[in-house]
Every structure is written in C-alpha cells, then in structure tokens.
Structure 1
Amino acid sequence: MTVHTRGAKATTTEQVGALASRLARRAGAIASVARPAAWILILSAIALWTAGQRLGWQELTVAAVIVTVVLALCALFLFGRTAYEVTLDLNRTRVIVGERAVGALTLSNAGSRAILASRVVLPVGSGRGVFDVRRLAAGDSVEELFAIPTQKRGILQVGPVAVLRGDPLGLFERIHRRDSPVDLYVHPRTVLFEGQSLGFLRDLEGLPATDLSPDDVSFHALREYHPGDDLRHVHWKSTARTGTVMVRQYEETRRSHFVIALSRHPSDYRTAEEFELAISAAGSLGLRALRDSQRVQVRVQGRALPAATGKQFLDSLAGLEHSAAREGTLVDLAGSVGATLASASVVVLVCGSKTSAEHVRLACSRLPFGARVLAIVADDGATPSLRRIGEADVVTVGALDQLSRALVKVLA
C-alpha cells in the first residue's frame, strides 16, 4: 500500500505558516498598544524579577511586583467600547492661505451601552488636534468645533479621526480609526484686476465682443447705409419695407488661446517667498483669463495643470511644489510649449529673480511664432519695473498687489 505524504506535508506547512502569520499579526497588534514608557517598565519588571530570584533580594522582588501591578492596572484601561459614529464636517474644503477653516466633529453613541470617556485625535497634515470626550450614554452625542489655521499653501489631509483609549499614566494606548479623511485645499493668494484682456485675436470660432464690425459672423443689428459700406451687406427686405437702405452690422468675434508657463525649477527662485509670489501671479492671470471666457492652458515642468475652471485651476496650484532638476529649466519649459501648443496666441512666462535675461530671451525664442509674449518675474520686495527683452514685455513685481498696476503699463 502506497501512502501519499507529500500532499499532507504541504498542507501542514501551509497551516503552520498561516498560524504563524496570524500570531505575528496578533503580536504586532498587542505590541502596538504599548508606548515607549510601557516598554521601559516591562523590561524593568523582567530585570527586577530575574535579579530578585537570582540574588535572593526581596526588595527587588517587591519592586518587580509593584511595577507589574502598575502595568496590569494601566492595561485594564484599554478594555471598553469605542464604537462611536463619527461625522467630520468641514464648513469649507477650500480656503485662501491665511484664512481659517472651520469644522465640526460629531461623535454619537448608537449602541445600547455607555461608552467611557476617551480621547479623539484629528490629524491635520503633519499636526493633530486632540479632544477629550466625556462619557456618552446610549443614544447620546457630542459635537466638538475646531478651526484650522492655514499659514502655507498646500493640500492638507484632515482625518481620519482616531479614537484613543489609554491609561492616566500614558503607558498604553489603543487606536481605532473612524470616518474617512477629507482634503482641505489651501489656495494661493490672488488679486483681481481690471482692464483689457491680453491678446484677443479675431477668429471665426471666437466669442462676440462689445466692439462692432461691418464684416464678421455674429449678426448684431441693422442700421442705415453710410457711404463706403459694402453693398453685399445690404438687407433688401428691410430696405423695401422702410424705403431706406439698411445694412447688417456685426459683433466682432474674438478668441484667445491663453497659455501660462510657470517655472517650478528651484534654480529660478531666490527664496520660497518668490516661488509663492510667482504662483499667486500665475493664479491671478489665469483667473482673469477664465473670467474673460478664454481658453486657458497651464504648463509646468513635467506636466500640464488642469485649468478648465477657476476652482480646478486653484486646486492644482495648491499642490504645486518645486520640480526635480532633471525636469528642466524655464528654457526647456518654453520649448515644450512651443512644440505642443503651436496655436497659442498669448504666452505668459512666470519665473523668479534668479532667471537671467539671457535665459528669458532664449525661452521666448522657443515659443510659438506669432504669439504675444509676456514674462512675469517674481522678485520679492523689488520695485515694480517694465522692460523689453526681444519681442517680450518683461514685468518685474515685488508684491502681488503690484501686478495689476504693472499690467496697465503693458496694455497702455
């Protein structure tokens, strides 16, 4: 008779491996509740027990008993229900840097038994807020209000909410995570400015403007004939009805393919404040172009930023960081724009004060032929100025509120 032992050995090995894996996970879960102070006391208790038994010193044994009892009593605080129903509500998930984001954290006990007092931790980015929650009877709830100050642009992850159960000495801590995290977008500062938009071009696919034209595709109204008007635009039915020669009048249609090329290469900026100023300037220009119903596309080293709407554009700027050195400088970025966006009618280059005039000139030479070029140089604290480099207007701004006045000079 043949006994098949290979399959049985494989099954036994798998079972042993699964058991070991479960034991390892359980041991990891148990070890995770002990804080560094608890591990020190545990090792101290083991050392005291060992020394007391080997040396026969009752004092060491008594000390070991005391430490062990303290550990056991503190461990009892880990037991108990923490089955809160957690609701995290942010009043606004998008704020401007410097504003406070206000929210509410609601904890409810939907069970049939009371939940002992505990602590609730709300992570916010790299920091966290701690709330002491009282004992909640069955069906009871409590609301905690909080405010998140925003000192820097970025995307902060708020949550997930964690419920802590621990002892008064802080030796043990059990964490139960509840709810899902919420992204808080901290947008850069922007400024609104008035004046004529940059770079409108007449185009058959354009949008109607307030300027009237004798020849276009968007019909506006009828008016009386003036000497020199093109007879092809005479509206003969109205002429026959009124007895006066009437001609068609049109609205001039315009289109602008507005491209913003924002350098995020660290070598282009002298300070972090310059980088933030450049982002704010790019955001201000992009919002104005979107408000004017222009087609806006934004490029940074390595990728395009979503800019179909103002909210989407500011969200993408909120998470923008410096690029890696291998992703190229402003010149490489301009080359990418010239190669992929040949139909651009207006290109705005945005960089820092460490970008040389030669690099700006070289970058402009790589942009699409015929596009109007404007370069914005962020130089924190500098006096605003306007100069020409090649075919480009180069505006230097030292603060965000200088941008609108500087653009008035460009459009003059």
Structure 2
Amino acid sequence: MEDLVVVGAGPYGLSVAAHAAAAGLDVRVLGRPMASWRDHMPDGMYLKSEPWSSNLSAPDGRYTLADYCATRGTTAEHGTPLPIRTFSEYGLWFARQAAPPVEEVTVTDVTPQGSGFRITTAQGEPLLARTVALAVGVMPFVNHPVALRELPPTHYSHSSDHRDLTRFAGQEVAVLGAGQAALETAALLAEAGARPCLVARRARLSWNTLPQPLERPLPRALRDPHSGLGTGWRSWAWSELPWAVRRLPAGVRERIAATELGPAGAWWLRDRFERRVPALMGHALHRAVPVGSRTRLGLTTAAGESVVLDVAHVIAATGFRPGLGRLGLLDAGLRTAVDTVGEAGTPALGPHFESSWPGLFFAGLLTAPSFGPSMRFVHGAGFTAGRLVAGVHKRLRAQGRPPRSGGGGGALRGQGAGRQKTYPV
C-alpha cells in the first residue's frame, strides 16, 4: 500500500509529488504530465504571468523555470512573454528532475477502502493508498454557457478544445468571453485567417498594464509591491497570505475566489487584438440555434435591444466552474460524504488541504474557495505543496504508520507494469 497517490501531473500534482518524494514518502504519480498545457492550449499562446512567478515547487527551491531556460541557452525575463510551449517543456523537465516517474494512466475511480483508498485506472490493476491527493487541474470543470448546450456538438466548442486554430481559416467565429483565453483565442484566430468576433456581457474590456521594473526606488515599491499575482497590496495579499484567506468566513472566501483578479487581457496582447478583432461588448447570449451547418446567436444589449449574429462556429472561452459534483473519478458516495462550501460544492479544507474525509487531499482550482484566488494560478503550487505533504505526514502518523524512508514509487503493477514513459523536450 502506497503512502500517497497523486492523481494529476500538472504543476500542482508534480509539485506535491516532488515534496512528497523528498520527504521520504512512498508516492506514486498518475496522469499525463502537463496535459492541459500540452493538449488544450492553441499553438502560439503565451504565458500571462511573469516567468519568476511561474515556478513549479521543489522543497529546496531548485528546478525553477529560469533553471530550465538556462539549460536551453535562453532566459526567462521579467516583462518578456514566454511561449506556453516553453512552459510545458519546463514542466516535463521538472517531472524528470524533481518528481518520481510519472505513470501515464487514466484514473477512473477513487473509492474508500478500509482506512485508505482504492484507485482504479483504465490500465492495469487497482492501487491501494493510505492517502490520496487529487490535483486534477481544470479540465473536469469546463464551463459552457447554458444557451449552447442544446446545439449539435459540431457547432460549438470550448477554448480548451483546440491546439490548432488554422482549421477555422476563412470562417466567421464568435468567441464568447472577456478574459485572457477569449482575447488571445480571438487574436490567434484572426492571425490564422479566420474572421472572429468577440461577444461579451461586460461593458468594456480590462487590460493589464506594462509590468513595473523589479528594481524600483523603495517608496515606489512600498506603495505598489510586486507579488506572484501582480502588483499592488491586494494582489500581494492573495499571493502571499492564502493561509489568512482560509480563516475568513466561508461566504467571504467564496466571493473573493470568484471576483478577485477577474478577467483581463495581457498588456502584450492588446495591440494584436484591437487591430484585428471586432468586439460586441455589453451583449448577453440568450439563444443559440443551428441553421444548417451554421449557428445563429440571439444576443441582448444592456439597453434590451435584440441582436442576431450568424456564424460558422462558436468558441466559448468561458472558463471553468469547479465543484465536487463534476469530479466523476471520485466515488459517488465519497463525493456526497465530503463536506463542501458554497453553491458550487467545493471541498471544505483544513489548513493542510485535507478534506473532511480523512486522508483525502485536494490541490489546485478546487481549493480556491478555501485558500483564495492564488489557487487558480501556477503560483499557488508553491504554497500548496509543502503544506499538503505536511498534512499527509500528520495523517499517516494518526494511522500509526510513519512514512517509510527513501520513497519514490515504482511502475504501475499488473497489466500496465513497466509502461512509464519519458518525455523529450
């Protein structure tokens, strides 16, 4: 029986695994490394956050994004956008350097068994674990507007469905949303020869400003401090004080997670977008109907006027809505038994990211209503990993099973044994 099984191999899962292995836990990591970054973001996208705030977390501070870039003879510079592809390759490099070998299998079920858990995969025999950390990323929580859900699947998609946008060349495409994903998807569509139009309920778009220099006079730095989530004292608080956010009343925490650091475009994208993409601001989608191979959208302005938009395809860049009810790999009885917060039903978590079910831990987006908006970003992995692993240690001691030294996990037993993969960069 493993001390810990980490389900998910994105920035949070790999960071937790790195801390767990360094702490001597017998840990296994299941999932496709950096899957959402490699498989669900269009070619040509850039990292919105600054490189120095986009590190995965190892316990000694090693294996940073800058370290990886140095191995490639490049630099990760403040104020210079970094390609998503480079960040994805960094994550694969981190996995090889800092974490146990990742087992590329699909987890289909996590069920309580005795004082631990039974983890079933689509490949091989089940695993048994004393504790489980679910770091499943964002893909289980894709959000589609209700008005689109009755359309045939070929008429609409989510922004996370696309790696290659050239398929839309010459076509009219409506992009729904007002955040970075919507704005960058629309710009990339235009650059690929499509004819995009942005549709957003917001009256106006928000754009981040050019980042301030890292080295500034002390008075200016005190007025507007840098943080992993941007400049300013509010961003600094969400970035550096997730433990304090968790101590706020549940309703306050949920509101903070939902509204702070809201939709905004990166400063480097603004000119590319405004030169090529028309935008219908203050337009709410209320109806979508198929007309042959095309889609007709019924929109309503803030003044109550009706607008009809006829397009070849609709891309919903409408983000993700986390909730335990949408986490199909978690046993239905266990989903019901775990205490939740808010209308969406995210897990209520202790200070070490443990749920009300002993030994069941969460990391990433599902933890934002407990620890604040930093959990929506890579930067939050640094706060999460060490604390979660400390919680695993505490749980193992409570079970009377102190961790074995020299952990690191092995190949998946049974049918999938020996199928660990390496990932060239």
Same fold (TM over 0.5): no
| Higher Cα Rg, which structure | 1
Q: Structure 2-normalised TM-score?
A: 0.22
TM-score normalised by the chain length of structure 1: 0.22
- Larger relative contact order (CA 8 Å, sep ≥ 6): 2
